[in-house]
Amino acid sequence: MSLLILHGDQIVASRSALRESVEKARRSGIKDIVRLNGEKVSLGDLKQALESESLFGTVRLVIIENVLTRVRSKTKEELVRYIAVESPKGEVILWERKELTTAQLRLVNKTATVRLFKLSKAIFRFLDSIYPKNTGQLLGYYHETLKQDAPELVFYMLSRRVTSLLMAADYNGKELHAMQKWQRQRLLAQAGKFTSKDLQMLHESLYRTDVAVKTGKSILPLSSMLDLILSEI
């Protein structure tokens, strides 16, 4: 079995790497590609995917998402043991939306190829600088971030931060209980610099931008659209 692990919080880059890996598999002659939700898949489903004969008579590629970060359970232990020890035939890609710990990697990476995708420090400085009356510093950090990260990633992280700020403002942090205390407090402090109306307007601007990009109706590149949005905060 060939095993590739893609993990880390730079989701745009890891998704791109996943697409490239799938295309590479197709070019090599693999036609049968199965995708499984690692948070819900059963051991029986995984065995079926890896052990049953391919319809095309070739090796099958099985992509499993978020199985190593799945909530601890007997089923998870069985899945990981099957992948790591029983060495089923075929090619397997494990995609994880978070950076795996050393302990998590140790479970399966004895023979795996592992690729980590980490967010740059610049993007966190940019995200933390998003608040009213901070336009100069905000745009400076934004342009610094673009030197290291793609506009698509910046847009994704910006949208996620604004959603978190809305939750912090509307529910006083009740929906943020999964975060560490220092993260929650910092987010609440940042949300407190906005009015609820300003956050809603920012969220709507990002939504309209997303629609415009996906429908091809924008005459500006995404980086310029974000420049305009940030200038109005």
What would the pLDDT profile of 184-228 be if each residue is shown by its tens digit? 889 999 999 999 899 999 999 999 999 999 998 888 999 999 999
d(CA 205, CA 184): 25
At residue 139, the pLDDT reads 97
Mean pLDDT, all residues of the chain: 90
pLDDT band at 55 (very low <50, low <70, confident <90, very high): low
Q: CATH 3.40.50.300 spans which residues of the chain?
A: 2-116
- Mean pLDDT is lowest, of 8-17, 57-66, 136-145, for 57-66
Q: CATH 1.20.272.10 spans which residues of the chain?
A: 121-231
At a CB cut-off of 8 Å and minimum separation 6, what does 75 contact? 42, 43
At a CB cut-off of 8 Å and minimum separation 6, what does 109 contact? 5
Q: Across residues 97-102, what is the average pLDDT?
A: 92
- For the cut 60, the answer to whether the pLDDT of residue 173 exceeds it is no
Q: What 3 state SS string does the chain have?
A: CEEEEEECCCHHHHHHHHHHHHHHHHHCCCCCEEEEECCCCCHHHHHHHHHCCCCCCCCCEEEEECCCCCCCCHHHHHHHHHHHCCCCCCEEEEEECCCCCHHHHHCCCCCCEEEECCCCHHHHHHHHCCCCCCHHHHHHHHHHHHCCCCHHHHHHHHHHHHHHHHHHHHHCCHHHCCCCHHHHHHHHHHHCCCCHHHHHHHHHHHHHHHHHHHHCCCCCCHHHHHHHHHHCC
Class of domain 121-231: mainly alpha
pLDDT band at 56 (very low <50, low <70, confident <90, very high): low
At residue 88, the pLDDT reads 64
Domain covering 2-116: architecture: 3-Layer(aba) Sandwich (3.40)
pLDDT band at 60 (very low <50, low <70, confident <90, very high): confident
- Mean pLDDT is lowest, of 14-18, 43-47, 106-110, 222-226, for 106-110
- For the cut 90, the answer to whether the pLDDT of residue 52 exceeds it is no
Q: Residues 69, 97: contact at Cβ < 8 Å?
A: yes
